[in-house]
């Protein structure tokens, strides 16, 4: 009877020990060893682990809702703790077309957005002069869980709707114009439509600076004009008008520019005629001369003139000069600038010739504006814009191209090409008299282009903005894979909250040229989803990516783009990499394979304790075997767990990336009849994170892990030690 009792106790010890090993490897052991643990079946069913985040969905971006800001919102993502939002700005081309931006065009707006909404303030104090109203704003957002090292794919507003999904500001009524002496009874005000407007409000005042204005009317959004009735006492007076738009949401746009107008008064002089420009179509680099025919006065009145202009930049009327010389019918305007078209208007003013303070009467403006049959149109000889440099089929030359200079439809321009090897040095003429808007050129670092018009004295414009060839891609690029970066700097060798160390991305300069710097991008996908990591170019040949969202088991892809001194570049080299793990995190990742492998063992799951003794071998999901043997040994038990080239998982589930952990070695256990004992053995791992773990320091108490530590050593891909043998507390890996 005693011998039988001892045998039963030893079997019980084996069962307890077997349960303890399985529980331990599953990371499910209770920290309180005074309580009974659950069954093997309970312990072998782990809680669902969050391993990925879905991309946000249903992005909304406001269009013509606010004057100075754009509202962005998206659907909530389960298990996300914050969101990252980025923006790309698309500027319309000369025909008003918008191009959907590339991934490299996005820049970070804000990290750690803790709600599913974001307000992007584009203009702090909106006014009519802001250029941003014509831009289109594209957004993309990803979900993050920093604590777990998770980052979702991006959702971009263009993913489903293209440019139609992007945001726009609520614009300002432009082109505000009021009649100037066309009627004695009214002043008609007109303006250009604003997208999203449901109504327009019109204001009027008597101050040229726009102060003191009062509301005088409101019209529907389908109407872009207003007639302001004028009393007889107000005839001839100048009034100043502003217009603002209102949208469906009740928001109001900024005020328009000021439009000056006045009604005609009986006795006013006739409008000047014959207004024209003398040599004003791209034949001068500094001035234009305006001419008009004299307006006759009377015996009692003297005529003077007011010269006004508008431009392609600003439709407001600018008073250029009050010309008091009655016989003067020309004026040279030297206050204009290149790149703009100007239209001129002349107004005749009659005053008493005897010097008394009689009534001043103003004529209508001359009919010489942009919409007249013979506009008084002028522009300076201007340099071409959008000069660019591209590769040619001939390795000894490049292709230079540019937009035709302002006024090319009126003139037969040719172009001079200049070059320099230093950005701010003197540029030398290398190719004169080029027809068309592109040419092959010899290789230099920088280029500028001028416009030539041989019709007058000033035959050549100023030089354009500098253009430079975009550099070739780096010759090579390499990302570190579980590498020891402690030699870089103490700050570099710091793991993030997920136990992952930084990645070192390094590259070599292209053989053909020397870039001014490099931009580094990162993604969790090989061909898309890249995020710019360096807002300003890196001048070194390496970059340390201290990725706060990096997570063990995640593989990262990098692009290194070469840029010139102007910050331009499009050629890149690809690489990949991932950071080393802390000893604790290494053990957690290794333990996932151990837990999964033991879930396949059948003896552990048999209901009868006596049936748990025995031997079996299971196969890894990818390759290798796990051998199990539980037997009575002396006054206790001995359990053998032997791994042979065992692997269950691919890196990020992708076969092409290779196996995650490949395990070879033993995790054996001995115990006495009280189910106390220790573990022994070493497992050597290769795969994504090479290293090893020794079990000799782990204690078993009451059939469960109850003290001691594992001895973990981590290595790089070449077998060099990263973290020397380090004790990892027995409770690591048991977190729920």
Q: Provide the b/e sequence for 428-437 (b: ≥16 CB within 10 Å).
A: eeebeebeeb
| Nearest residue to 581 via CA among 681, 480, 730, 477 | 480
Q: Report the 10 Å Cβ neighbour count for 618.
A: 17
pLDDT (0 to 100) of residue 456: 60
Distance CA 723, CA 733 (A): 19
Is residue 17 pLDDT above 70, yes or no?
Answer: no
| Nearest residue to 361 via CA among 262, 487, 282 | 262
Q: How confident is the model at residue 31 (pLDDT cuts 50, 70, 90)?
A: very low
* Range 170-194 average pLDDT: 94
Distance CA 200, CA 217 (A): 8
For 593-633, write each residue's pLDDT tens digit: 998 999 999 887 777 656 778 899 999 999 999 999 988 87
For 239-261, write each residue's pLDDT tens digit: 999 999 999 999 999 999 999 99
Question: How many CA atoms lie within 13 Å of 400's alpha carbon, on the beta-carbon side?
Answer: 31
Q: How confident is the model at residue 45 (pLDDT cuts 50, 70, 90)?
A: very low
pLDDT (0 to 100) of residue 606: 73
Residue by residue, DSSP assigns 185-243 as SEEEEE----TTEEEEEEEEES-TT-TT-EEEEEEETT--EEEEE--GGGTT-EEEEEE
pLDDT (0 to 100) of residue 527: 87
Phi-psi region of 652 (alpha: psi -120 to 50; beta: other; left: phi over 0): left
Q: How confident is the model at residue 550 (pLDDT cuts 50, 70, 90)?
A: confident
* Range 422-443 average pLDDT: 94
102-106, 186-190, 656-660: the lowest-pLDDT one? 102-106
pLDDT (0 to 100) of residue 44: 35
* Range 435-449 average pLDDT: 95
Q: How many residues does the chain have?
A: 736
pLDDT (0 to 100) of residue 345: 95
Q: Report the 10 Å Cβ neighbour count for 514.
A: 10
If one compares 465 and 46, the residue with the highest pLDDT of the two is: 465
* Range 277-300 average pLDDT: 90
Distance CA 340, CA 106 (A): 31
pLDDT (0 to 100) of residue 355: 66
Distance CA 1, CA 76 (A): 67
Q: Report the 10 Å Cβ neighbour count for 319.
A: 12
Q: How many helices (H) and strands (E) would you count in the chain?
A: 4, 47
Contacts of 368 (CB under 8 A, 6+ apart): 275, 276, 343, 344, 345, 346, 374, 375, 376
pLDDT (0 to 100) of residue 370: 84
35-39, 262-266, 311-315, 514-518: the lowest-pLDDT one? 35-39
Q: What secondary structure, in 3-state letters, does 361-400 show?
A: EECCCCCCCCCCCCCCEEECCCCCCCCEEEECCCCCEEEE
Sign of CA dihedral 398, 399, 402, 408: positive
Q: Cβ distance 665 to 629 under 8 Å? A: no
Distance CA 522, CA 556 (A): 7
Q: What secondary structure, in 3-state letters, does 517-582 show?
A: EEEEEEECCCCCCCEECCCCCECCCEEEECCCCCCCCCCEEEEEEEECCCCCCCCEEEEEEECCEC
Question: How many CA atoms lie within 13 Å of 501's alpha carbon, on the beta-carbon side?
Answer: 27
Q: How confident is the model at residue 19 (pLDDT cuts 50, 70, 90)?
A: very low
Q: Cβ distance 260 to 208 under 8 Å? A: yes
Distance CA 465, CA 565 (A): 13
Which of helix, strand or coil describes residue 469? coil
Distance CA 62, CA 81 (A): 24
If one compares 620 and 736, the residue with the highest pLDDT of the two is: 620
Is residue 358 pLDDT above 80, yes or no?
Answer: no
Is residue 34 pLDDT above 60, yes or no?
Answer: no
Sheet of 556-563: strand order equals 531-532, 517-523, 556-563, 572-577
For residue 153, give the DSSP letter.
P
Largest Cα separation within the chain, whole Å, is 148
| Alpha carbon distance, N-terminus to C-terminus of the chain | 44
Q: How confident is the model at residue 704 (pLDDT cuts 50, 70, 90)?
A: low
* Range 392-416 average pLDDT: 91
Distance CA 159, CA 418 (A): 43
Summarize the chain as % helix, strand, coil (round to 5): 10, 40, 50
Q: How confident is the model at residue 282 (pLDDT cuts 50, 70, 90)?
A: very high
Q: Cβ distance 383 to 449 under 8 Å? A: yes
Angle between helices 583-598 and 2-26 (to 10 degrees): 120
For 573-596, write each residue's pLDDT tens digit: 999 999 999 999 999 999 999 989
For residue 279, give the DSSP letter.
S
- Bridge partners of residue 694, in order along the sequence: 682, 711
Is residue 95 pLDDT above 60, yes or no?
Answer: yes
Distance CA 190, CA 174 (A): 9
Q: Cβ distance 574 to 523 under 8 Å? A: no
Is residue 8 pLDDT above 50, yes or no?
Answer: no
How far is the CA of 558 from the CAs of 30, 138, 217, 522, in angstroms?
42, 23, 59, 5
Q: How confident is the model at residue 457 (pLDDT cuts 50, 70, 90)?
A: low
294-298, 416-420, 724-728: the lowest-pLDDT one? 294-298
Is residue 2 pLDDT above 50, yes or no?
Answer: no
Is residue 429 pLDDT above 50, yes or no?
Answer: yes
For 308-354, write each residue's pLDDT tens digit: 999 988 778 889 999 988 889 999 999 999 999 999 999 999 988 77
Q: Cβ distance 242 to 258 under 8 Å? A: yes
For residue 149, give the DSSP letter.
T
pLDDT (0 to 100) of residue 610: 65
pLDDT (0 to 100) of residue 348: 94
Is residue 36 pLDDT above 70, yes or no?
Answer: no
If one compares 736 and 635, the residue with the highest pLDDT of the two is: 635
**Which long-range contacts (C-beta less than 8 Å, at least 24 apart) are formed by 626-635?**
626/597, 626/598, 626/600, 626/601, 628/601, 628/603, 630/14, 630/17, 630/18, 630/603, 631/14, 632/7, 632/10, 632/11, 632/14, 633/670, 635/6, 635/10, 635/672, 635/673
pLDDT (0 to 100) of residue 703: 62
Which of helix, strand or coil describes residue 424? coil
């Amino acid at each position: 009877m005693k011998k039988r009792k001892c045998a039963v106790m030893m079997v019980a010890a084996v069962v307890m020990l077997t349960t303890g090993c399985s529980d331990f490897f599953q990371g499910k052991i209770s920290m309180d060893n005074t309580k009974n643990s659950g069954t093997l079946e309970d312990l072998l069913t782990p809680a669902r682990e969050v391993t990925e985040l879905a991309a946000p969905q249903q992005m909304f971006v406001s269009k013509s809702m606010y004057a100075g800001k754009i509202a962005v919102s998206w659907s909530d993502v389960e298990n996300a703790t914050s969101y990252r939002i980025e923006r790309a700005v698309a500027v319309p081309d000369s025909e008003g077309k918008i191009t959907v931006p590339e991934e490299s065009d996005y820049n970070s707006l804000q990290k750690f957005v803790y709600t599913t909404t974001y307000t992007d303030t584009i203009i702090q104090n909106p006014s009519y002069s802001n250029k941003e109203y014509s831009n289109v704003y594209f957004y993309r957002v990803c979900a993050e869980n920093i604590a777990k090292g998770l980052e979702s794919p991006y959702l971009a507003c263009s993913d489903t709707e293209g440019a139609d999904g992007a945001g726009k500001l609520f614009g300002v009524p432009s082109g505000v114009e009021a009649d100037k002496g066309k009627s004695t009874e009214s002043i008609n005000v007109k303006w250009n439509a604003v997208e999203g407007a449901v109504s327009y409000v019109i204001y009027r005042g008597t101050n040229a600076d726009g102060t003191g204005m009062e509301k005088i009317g409101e019209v529907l959004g389908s109407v872009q004009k207003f007639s302001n009735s004028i009393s007889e006492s107000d005839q001839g007076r100048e009034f100043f008008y502003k217009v603002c738009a209102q949208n469906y949401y009740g928001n109001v746009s900024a005020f328009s520019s000021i439009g000056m107008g006045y009604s005609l008064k009986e006795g006013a002089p006739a409008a000047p005629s014959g207004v024209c420009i003398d040599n004003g179509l791209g034949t001068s680099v500094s001035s234009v001369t305006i001419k008009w025919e004299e307006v006759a006065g009377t015996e009692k009145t003297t005529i003077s003139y007011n010269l006004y202009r508008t431009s392609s930049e600003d439709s407001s009327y600018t008073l250029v000069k009050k010309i008091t010389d009655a016989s003067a019918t020309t004026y040279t305007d030297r206050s204009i600038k290149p790149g703009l078209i100007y239209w001129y208007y002349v107004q005749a003013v009659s005053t008493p010739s005897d010097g008394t303070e009689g009534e001043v009467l103003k004529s209508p403006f001359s009919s010489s504006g942009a919409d007249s049959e013979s506009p008084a149109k002028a522009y300076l000889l201007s340099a071409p814009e959008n000069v660019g440099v591209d590769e040619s089929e001939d390795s000894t030359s490049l292709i230079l191209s540019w937009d035709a200079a302002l006024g090319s439809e009126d003139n037969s321009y040719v172009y001079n090409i200049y070059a320099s090897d230093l950005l701010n040095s003197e540029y030398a003429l290398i190719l004169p008299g080029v027809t068309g808007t592109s040419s092959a050129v010899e290789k230099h670092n920088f280029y500028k282009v001028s416009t030539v018009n041989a019709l007058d004295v000033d035959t050549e414009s100023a030089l354009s903005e500098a253009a430079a060839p975009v550099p070739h891609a780096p010759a090579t690029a390499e990302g570190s894979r579980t590498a020891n970066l402690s030699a870089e700097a103490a700050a570099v060798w710091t793991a993030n909250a997920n136990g992952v160390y930084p990645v070192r991305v390094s590259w070599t300069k292209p053989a053909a040229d020397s870039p001014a710097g490099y931009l580094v991008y990162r993604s969790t996908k090989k061909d898309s989803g890249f995020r710019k990591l360096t807002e300003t170019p890196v001048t070194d040949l390496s970059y340390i990516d201290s990725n706060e969202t990096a997570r063990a088991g995640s593989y990262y892809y990098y692009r290194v783009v070469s840029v010139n001194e102007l910050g331009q570049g499009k050629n890149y080299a690809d690489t990949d990499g991932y950071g080393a793990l802390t000893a604790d995190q290494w053990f957690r990742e290794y333990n996932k394979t151990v837990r999964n492998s033991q879930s396949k063992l059948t003896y552990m799951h048999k209901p009868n304790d006596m049936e748990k003794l025995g031997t079996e071998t299971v196969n890894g999901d990818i390759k290798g075997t796990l051998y199990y043997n539980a037997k009575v040994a002396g006054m206790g038990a001995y359990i053998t767990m032997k791994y042979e080239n065992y692997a269950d998982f691919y890196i990020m589930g992708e076969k092409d990336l290779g196996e995650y952990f490949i395990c070879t070695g033993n995790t054996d256990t001995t115990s006495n009849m009280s189910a106390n004992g220790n573990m022994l053995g070493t497992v050597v791992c290769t795969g994504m994170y090479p290293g090893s773990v020794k079990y000799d320091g782990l204690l078993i108490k009451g059939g469960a892990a109850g003290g001691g530590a594992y001895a973990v050593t981590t290595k790089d891909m070449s077998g060099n030690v990263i973290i020397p043998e380090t004790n990892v507390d027995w409770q690591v890996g048991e977190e729920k």
